[in-house]
């Protein structure tokens, strides 16, 4: 992840799921009742509260109930939860504006007329706010979206029209009409002080709504231009899909990603370990893809989908690929699963393996182990900070590892030490960087040593704990999984120290710890490696699942949970895996899958465009709001002449 992508990811701190519609309505009515007690002056407190509910809460309820119905009838997709939350937000805006205006009226000579004018501005403002949200979520044209956007403003205006005495100016209808519609004498005393509002005020309200709608249109048009020019899509498509995903769990964001995606051919490598008599014990599956972009959108839940398809206990390591290799839709995951199954069916097994080899080259540390003529390698830059490894770097490292004579190589990015989104350089390992050559040269040395290493029969033990931690804690649904490979002759007391060179005559046990999370807090990997002393070699890997990043951009393993608790779970799993050791045989095979991914530089372009829109959005919105308020003041001035 680059700094630009990090800036975009950090925006997730502003994201939250919309509460249920009845929660929003209930809170809106409660606020209206509280405001009623403070604003109205009748004989009883409960009557004040009721009047607050009637005059302030009723338009909010009307907007909550009718907005999604009208919007969907016109082809939109605003949900009840979204509509209710929007109505509540608009109610709070209206209350804030009117309360501030009331204080100003008391402290100055502006009087009640200023409060009425402020109320009109507030009603026009919530119309503009609702128009903006509905156009963004439902992708309606301005005139069509105005129908649903105007419900709350119209409802409040109707109550103001009927109960303020404005109808007396119109002098239409007979006594029966006035008896039913003109109720100014029944309005609360403070509301009754607003009697006889000039009908021209409602014409002004209509004019303000037109002006503010024009401001919304201008804002969206200007903000949309960079997206149209660089990506050929609308920012509203992205906003609608993003809001729908985080608030309602919809999959519309995938349609946006599919529009900007590109076709790619990616290797899918499968390492299967089975018992000699048959029956798969474990399966390592590594598609050269990135498990993103978020939640279960695209390949965000790729590790879990892979795990569900394996007969044995599945280990889905993180590939050497960045966000450019995110799958655009969840449908593409099916293609990857089918390709992995094809590779699995072609596997030829071998009953021998080598001891693991660990090589440090510059900042990179690579650990590898051969199974027959194939090898599994994993790379880490710990204690240095690193995030994703570019696709081209990973392919080069695999090619370098095979030059020593290995047939096939599965290279995993351990993805186990990063400092989050801080700083300009977030640890992306790109082609041409010093770290990329550290990794490539290290892979070459590991490959050479494994190619000439002695092969012997071996055993495997596995263990799995889903854990009680949730994605909010940084742990995905796969929990923690451990695979321990035992080459004959290990398990003696002090065997760890005797086998530190990994090439001695003694046996060796190697534990691969898989944590279903997205990277780890700095130092945690090294602490796990040093404290797990029940085996000779330990490496810790995260799957980089993006399920844990639905609501929080930074949610690394060890951030929310105590490190000591995590290490205790891992230590127990290593002991359980050792107790599960039994003779096995292994085989590896690769196939290629044709899928649609974000595409080269698309992620950076998307992040840059989004960040530019955010940067220019606030000043542009401020300028348009200032201009709209200036026009509003001019309208009131002209109307008062």
In a domain, 7, yes or no: no
pLDDT at 59 over 60: yes
Q: Identify which of 295-299, 327-331, 442-446 has the greatest average pLDDT.
A: 442-446
pLDDT at 298 over 90: no
Q: Which residue(s) pair with 462 in the sheet?
A: 483
pLDDT band at 475 (very low <50, low <70, confident <90, very high): very high
How are the residues of the chain apportioned to helix, strand and coil, as percentages rounded to the nearest 5? 55, 20, 30
Peptide bond preceding 424: is omega within 30 degrees of 0, i.e. cis? Answer: no
Distance CA 39, CA 42 (A): 10
Same domain, 211 and 267: no
pLDDT for 518 equals 92
| DSSP string over 471-526 | GGGT--TT-EEEEEEEETT--STTHHHHTTTS-SSS-EEEEEEEESSS-B-TTHHH
Same domain, 98 and 161: yes
pLDDT for 436 equals 96
Distance CA 442, CA 541 (A): 18
Taking a C-beta distance cutoff of 8 angstroms, is the pair 370, 453 a contact? yes
pLDDT at 303 over 50: yes
From 595, 413, 409, select the one nearest 518 (Cα to Cα): 413
pLDDT for 591 equals 97
Residues with Cβ < 8 Å from 80, sequence gap 6 or more?
Answer: 21, 64, 68
Q: Identify which of 25-34, 89-98, 448-457 has the greatest average pLDDT.
A: 448-457
Backbone angles phi, psi at 365, to 5 degrees: -125, 120
Q: What is the mean pLDDT of residues 65-76?
A: 88
Question: Residue 610 belongs to what domain range?
Answer: 18-247+604-640
In a domain, 1, yes or no: no
pLDDT tens for 373-388 read 999 999 999 999 998 9
pLDDT for 551 equals 60
Taking a C-beta distance cutoff of 8 angstroms, is the pair 350, 458 a contact? no
pLDDT at 185 over 70: no
Number of domains in the chain: 2
Distance CA 369, CA 536 (A): 13
Same domain, 546 and 587: yes
Same domain, 367 and 496: yes
Of residues 96 and 38, the one with the higher pLDDT is 96
Same domain, 310 and 179: no
Q: Is 163 exposed, middle or buried (0-12, 13-18, 19+ CB in 10 A)?
A: buried
Same domain, 159 and 204: yes
pLDDT at 470 over 50: yes
Same domain, 462 and 435: yes
Distance CA 99, CA 105 (A): 10
Distance CA 201, CA 205 (A): 6
Tell me the three state secondary structure of residue 79: coil
pLDDT tens for 93-121 read 888 887 888 788 778 877 767 777 888 89
**Quick one: DSSP state of residue 350?**
B
In a domain, 211, yes or no: yes
CA angle (392, 306, 372) in 5-degree steps: 70
**Quick one: DSSP state of residue 325?**
G
Taking a C-beta distance cutoff of 8 angstroms, is the pair 539, 315 a contact? no
In a domain, 288, yes or no: yes
The model's pTM: 0.73
Sequence length of the chain is 641
Same domain, 588 and 608: no
Distance CA 437, CA 430 (A): 10
In a domain, 319, yes or no: yes
pLDDT at 553 over 50: yes
Same domain, 304 and 418: yes
**Quick one: DSSP state of residue 561?**
S
Tell me the three state secondary structure of residue 586: strand
Lowest mean pLDDT among 21-30, 32-41, 235-244: 32-41
Same domain, 141 and 188: yes
Residues with Cβ < 8 Å from 308, sequence gap 6 or more?
Answer: 314
User: What is the rounded average pLDDT for all residues in the chain?
Assistant: 82
Backbone angles phi, psi at 171, to 5 degrees: 50, 45
pLDDT at 158 over 80: yes
Same domain, 218 and 275: no
Taking a C-beta distance cutoff of 8 angstroms, is the pair 413, 539 a contact? no
pLDDT band at 469 (very low <50, low <70, confident <90, very high): very high
Q: Is 576 exposed, middle or buried (0-12, 13-18, 19+ CB in 10 A)?
A: middle
In a domain, 252, yes or no: no
Lowest mean pLDDT among 71-85, 246-260, 389-403, 545-559: 246-260
In a domain, 256, yes or no: no
Tell me the three state secondary structure of residue 256: helix
Number of CB atoms found within 10 A of residue 441's CB: 17
Bridge-based pairing of strands 297-298 and 374-380 is unpaired
| Numbers of helices and strands, H then E, in the chain | 22, 15
From 361, 357, 589, 398, select the one nearest 485 (Cα to Cα): 357
Taking a C-beta distance cutoff of 8 angstroms, is the pair 267, 304 a contact? no
Q: What is the mean pLDDT of residues 435-447?
A: 97
Look up tokens 């014409």; give the residue: 203
Backbone angles phi, psi at 604, to 5 degrees: -65, -40
Taking a C-beta distance cutoff of 8 angstroms, is the pair 376, 368 a contact? yes
Bridge-based pairing of strands 313-315 and 280-287 is parallel
Cα first-last separation, the chain: 60
In a domain, 466, yes or no: yes
pLDDT band at 618 (very low <50, low <70, confident <90, very high): confident
pLDDT tens for 492-518 read 333 343 334 444 457 899 999 999 999
Same domain, 212 and 267: no
pLDDT tens for 590-602 read 999 999 998 776 6
Distance CA 121, CA 157 (A): 12
pLDDT at 1 over 60: no
Taking a C-beta distance cutoff of 8 angstroms, is the pair 303, 476 a contact? yes
391 alpha carbon, distance to own chain's centre: 23
Alpha carbons within 13 A on the beta-carbon side of 614:
15
Q: Which residue(s) pair with 509 in the sheet?
A: 486
pLDDT at 312 over 90: yes
């Amino acid at each position: 992840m680059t700094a630009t992508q990090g800036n975009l990811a950090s925006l997730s701190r502003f994201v939250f799921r919309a509460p249920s519609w009845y929660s929003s309505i209930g809170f809106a009515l409660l606020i209206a009742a509280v405001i009623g007690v403070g604003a109205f002056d009748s004989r009883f407190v409960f009557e004040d509260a009721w009047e607050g509910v009637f005059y302030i809460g009723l338009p909010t309820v009307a907007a909550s109930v009718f907005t999604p119905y009208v919007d969907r009838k016109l082809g939109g997709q605003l949900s009840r939860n979204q509509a209710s939350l929007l109505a509540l937000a608009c109610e709070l805006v209206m209350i804030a504006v009117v309360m501030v205006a009331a204080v100003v009226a008391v402290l100055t000579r502006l009087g009640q007329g200023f409060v009425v004018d402020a109320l009109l501005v507030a009603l026009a403002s919530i119309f503009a706010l609702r128009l903006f949200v509905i156009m963004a979520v439902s992708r309606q044209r301005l005139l069509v979206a105005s129908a649903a956007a105007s419900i709350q403003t119209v409802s409040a205006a109707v109550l103001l029209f009927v109960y303020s005495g404005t109808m007396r100016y119109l002098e239409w209808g007979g006594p029966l009409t006035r008896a039913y519609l003109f109720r100014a004498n029944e309005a609360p005393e403070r509301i009754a002080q607003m009697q006889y509002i000039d009908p021209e005020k409602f014409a002004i309200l209509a004019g303000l709504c037109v002006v503010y709608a024009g401001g919304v249109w201008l804002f969206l048009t200007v903000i949309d231009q960079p997206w149209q020019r660089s990506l050929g899509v609308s920012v509203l498509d992205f906003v609608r899909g993003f809001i729908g995903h985080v608030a309602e769990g919809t999959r519309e964001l995938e349609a946006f990603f599919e529009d900007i995606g590109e076709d790619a051919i990616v290797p899918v490598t499968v390492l299967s370990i089975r018992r000699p008599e048959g029956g798969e014990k474990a399966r390592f599956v590594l598609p050269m893809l990135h498990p993103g972009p978020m939640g279960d959108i695209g390949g965000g839940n790729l590790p879990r989908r892979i795990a569900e398809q394996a007969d044995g206990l599945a280990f889905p390591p993180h590939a050497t690929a960045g966000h450019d290799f995110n799958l655009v839709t969840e449908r593409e995951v099916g293609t990857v699963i089918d390709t992995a199954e094809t590779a699995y069916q072609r596997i030829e097994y071998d009953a021998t393996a080598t001891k693991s080899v660990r090589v440090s080259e510059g900042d990179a540390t690579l650990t590898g182990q051969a199974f027959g003529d194939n090898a599994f390698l994993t790379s880490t830059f710990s204690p240095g900070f690193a995030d994703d490894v570019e696709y081209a770097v990973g392919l080069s490292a695999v090619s370098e590892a095979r030059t020593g004579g290995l047939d096939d190589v599965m290279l995993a990015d351990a993805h186990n030490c990063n400092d989050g989104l801080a700083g300009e350089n977030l640890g992306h390992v790109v082609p041409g960087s010093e770290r990329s050559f550290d990794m490539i040269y290290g892979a070459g040395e590991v490959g050479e040593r494994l190619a000439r290493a002695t092969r012997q029969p071996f055993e495997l033990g596995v263990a799995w704990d889903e854990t009680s931690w949730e994605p909010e804690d940084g742990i995905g649904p796969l929990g923690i999984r451990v695979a321990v490979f035992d080459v004959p002759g290990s398990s003696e007391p002090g065997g760890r120290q005797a086998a530190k060179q990994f090439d001695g005559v003694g046996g060796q046990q190697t534990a691969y710890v898989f944590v279903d999370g997205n990277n780890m807090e700095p130092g945690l990997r090294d602490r796990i490696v040093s404290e797990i002393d029940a085996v000779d070699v330990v490496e810790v890997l995260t799957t980089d699942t993006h399920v844990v990043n639905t609501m929080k951009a930074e949610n690394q393993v060890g951030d929310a949970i105590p490190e000591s608790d995590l290490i205790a779970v891992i230590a127990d799993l290593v002991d359980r895996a050792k107790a599960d050791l039994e003779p096995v045989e292994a085989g590896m095979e690769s196939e290629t899958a044709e899928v649609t991914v974000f595409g080269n530089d698309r992620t950076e372009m998307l992040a840059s465009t989004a960040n530019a829109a955010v940067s220019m959005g606030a000043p542009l919105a401020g300028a348009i709001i200032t201009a709209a308020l200036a026009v509003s003041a001019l309208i009131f001035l002209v109307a008062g002449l």
